[in-house]
Structure 1
Amino acid sequence: MSQTALITGANSGLGYALAQALAQAGWRLGLVARDPKRGQAALEQIRAATGNDALELFIADLVSQQQVHSLAEAVLGRFDELHLLINNAGTAFRKRHLSPERIECALTVNHLAPFLLILLVLDRLKASAPAQVIQVGTRIDTALDLEDWNWERRPYRMLAAYGQSKLGMLHCTFELARRLEGTGVRVNCVFPGVFRSNLGKTDGGQGFFWQAVDRLIGWALPRPEQAARGVLRLVFDPSLQGLNGAYLWNGRPIPAPLQARDPEMNRRVWELSLALAGLSEISYLQVASVAT
């Protein structure tokens, strides 16, 4: 029986390359996209290229927690098993924007949406074990300001907000890995390297900036397909099958930002993330139970 994977941001760039590689390997796939037309076009292109008919499209705008809940419900309704969740979708904004829940949008899309999605499908991953979650991170050495995570007091800076949102993901990767010991579900964070990406080209109105960057150095950057191979080493490389709670680049451990190495900070970020996602430790356990 083929294994089942769910990939966010699967209609272009790295997500598309990941989906195509897994489809070629015979996996059953759920592709998560924000735009129905682009998502359907990506699904049809992957199907034509690989001959894999076991592809399903899920539409969700990850800036909305309500849509993340609906996405999880749809996934659990269609997939009896889930062996792999790749949280790939990411974005950056030139200006501060707020989600429907009044949370800064880079934080919402890059951290809280994958955090919430994991918790909502976690029991299905456990029931399908061995299973794993792969978080697509970045390599920006920064620290979280937990007193102003929502950028209410500080001047908003796009790259700083992006870096902090991805650091939030890394904190919770480490905390979740500890909590999942012995369950058969692994969670790791992978830096895919610098490659030609759609990051920021359509979100937040900063298209001219990213187009200029692309014109200057884009030709020299690796293609998403090359970055995808590094991410998927966690799936296909036997030497990496036992890893849990690792931060990797092309199959090799890399140093996490100093703040993320502190288990107490991991716990604090976890608890703050639960609150921002509208959950508590008690309600999270109830969600995990209901999700099955």
Structure 2
Amino acid sequence: MYSIIARLYLFLKIAVIVVFETVTLGKARCKCKTKLDGKVALITGGNTGIGLETARDLARRGATVIIASRNVEKSEAAVKDIIKTTGNTKIHFKSLNLLKFSSIIKFADEFNKEYNNLDILVNNSGTTMFKQNLSEDGVERVIQINYVGPFLLTNLLMNKLIASKPSRIVIVSSKANEFHEIDPDDIAGVRPLDALTRYSNSKLYNILWAKALAKRLPEGVTANAIHPGIVKTEIFNTLTDRMRKVVLWVISVFFKNAEEGAQTTIHACVAPELELVSGEYFEECRIRLANKVTRDEKLVDYVWENTMKLVNDRLPRPL
């Protein structure tokens, strides 16, 4: 009985998000013609959905694009697809599993040795999971893939980003952050919560993280969070079959495809007027006010400090 009630509650919360998004529906596009020849862009989860379309756009602009993902087959297919559709052969795949700190460390070590610069880092990977389980690092899996793993990765690549400035960090968040129930003393996400709340928490942490980074980054390195809109992508694959079919049908009729959903991410990556803009939250290629709790500077710092402690407690060498 609890399982049925939990699923109904989750479905109703998703419905609220859909209705709210319908009211503010838009399909803004990134219109700038910025070229990226000689630039290096790294996109987590760049083998499908918004990440794939972001990678394709940056490739068209001439960037060297690295797709970071754990799915080898999909990533190799994505590389071939991008090369075929853009003519840019500087597209590569590197294996990365954000559910394992050991994989993140290995990836960062190899990347730092292999590439001389990192001009754009897009923390795009995201997931939803109905069941709440911890990773081998003791972090709830949605929180780790959506927030803690990217947090670690970005810190391990920070010296490369600083050396490459002007450089940009783009963090994909979601309007779903409005349904958060965050506990900054439980960054690992051990407290029992429903699936949407865990997802919402991870996306609110993303916005807080962008603001914390902006306070700590040197001039020339920026960090911003974005909401792509409601998009038909594979992120919904972890929902139950019936729920996924309903959600994807609604999205396909009323909302965005992956190419449309990638536009705000692309804008944050390349718009020349954003070169010095940092710590902001974007929707429809415009700066918007985020959740009011993100304007609590003490909370921003507290979440940063607790996340840093969580990560350092699990690393062989601290950041």
Report how far residue 153 of structure 1 moved.
Answer: 4.0
TM-score, normalised to structure 2, is: 0.83
**Pair 53,272 (structure 1): closer, same or farther in 2 beyond 3 Å:** same
Q: Take 1:226 and 1:268, find their aligned partners in 2: how far apart are those partners? A: 35
Counterpart of 2:122 (choices 82, 86, 96) is 86
How is 1:7-86 mapped onto 2 (pairs within 5 angstroms)? 7-86=43-122
Shift of residue 149, structure 1, vs aligned partner:
4.1
2:131 is aligned, of 95, 111, 124, to 95
* Matching residue within 130, 152, 162 for 1:116: 152
The yes-or-no answer on 1:165 pairing with 2:199 is no
Per the alignment, in what secondary structure is the counterpart of residue 232 of structure 1? helix
2:184 to 135, 146, 150: 146
Contact 1:235 1:241 in 2 (8 A): no
Q: 2: distance between equivalents of 1:76 and 1:148?
A: 31
CA-based RMSD: 1.8
| Alignment correspondent of 2:13 | none
CA distance in structure 1 between the partners assigned to 2:212 and 2:189 by the alignment: 24
In the alignment, structure 1 residue 104 sits paired with structure 2 residue 140: yes
Cα distance 1:279–1:47, how it changes in 2: closer, same or farther (>3 A)?
A: farther
User: Per the alignment, do residues 153 and 20 of structure 1 end up closer, same or farther by CA in structure 2, a change over 3 Å counting?
Assistant: closer
Structure 1 residue 261: Cα displacement: 1.0
What is the TM-score when the length of structure 1 is the normalising length?
0.90
1:28-62 Cα shifts (integer Å, max 9, x gaps): 01101111111101111111111111111011111
Report the counterpart of residue 239 of structure 1 in structure 2: 273
Number of aligned residues: 279
Q: Name the CA distance, whole Å, in 1 between partners of 2:160 and 2:313.
A: 19
Tell me if the contact between 1:9 and 1:31 (Cα under 8 Å) persists in the aligned partners. yes
Q: Which moved more, 1:136-145 or 1:103-112?
A: 136-145
8 Å contact kept, 1:9–1:33: yes
Q: How far apart are 1:279 and its partner, in Å?
A: 5.5
For the residues of structure 2 that align with 1:148 and 1:73, how far apart are their CA atoms?
A: 29
Partner of 1:251: 285
Shift of the 148–123 alpha-carbon distance from structure 1 to 2, 3 Å rule, reads closer
Give the whole-Å Cα distance in 1 for the aligned partners of 2:108 and 2:76: 19
Per-residue CA shift, 1:193-226, capped at 9, x if unaligned?
A: 112121130x4x6344222211244232211111
Q: 2:306 matched to which residue of 1?
A: 272
Unaligned runs of 5+ in 2: 1-36
Decide whether the 8 Å contact of 2:224 with 2:280 is kept in 1.
yes
Range 81-90 or range 206-215, more displaced: 206-215
Query: Do 2:59 and 2:65's aligned partners in 1 also have CA atoms closer than 8 Å?
Result: yes
User: Is residue 221 of structure 1 aligned with residue 255 of structure 2?
Assistant: yes
Contact 1:143-1:259 within 8 A present in 2 as well: no
Identity %: 27
Q: Aligned match of 2:211 in 165, 168, 174?
A: 174
Q: Of the candidates 219, 240, 264, which is equivalent to residue 230 of structure 1?
A: 264
Stretches of structure 1 lacking an aligned partner (at least 5 in a row): 288-292
**Mapped partners of 1:214, 1:100: distance in 2:** 31
> Mean Cα displacement is larger for which, 115-124 or 141-150?
141-150
Contact 1:14 1:225 in 2 (8 A): yes
Say whether the 8 Å CA contact 1:137–1:190 is kept in structure 2: yes
Greater CA deviation, 162-171 or 7-16?
162-171
SS at match of 1:275: helix
Shift of residue 242, structure 1, vs aligned partner: 1.9
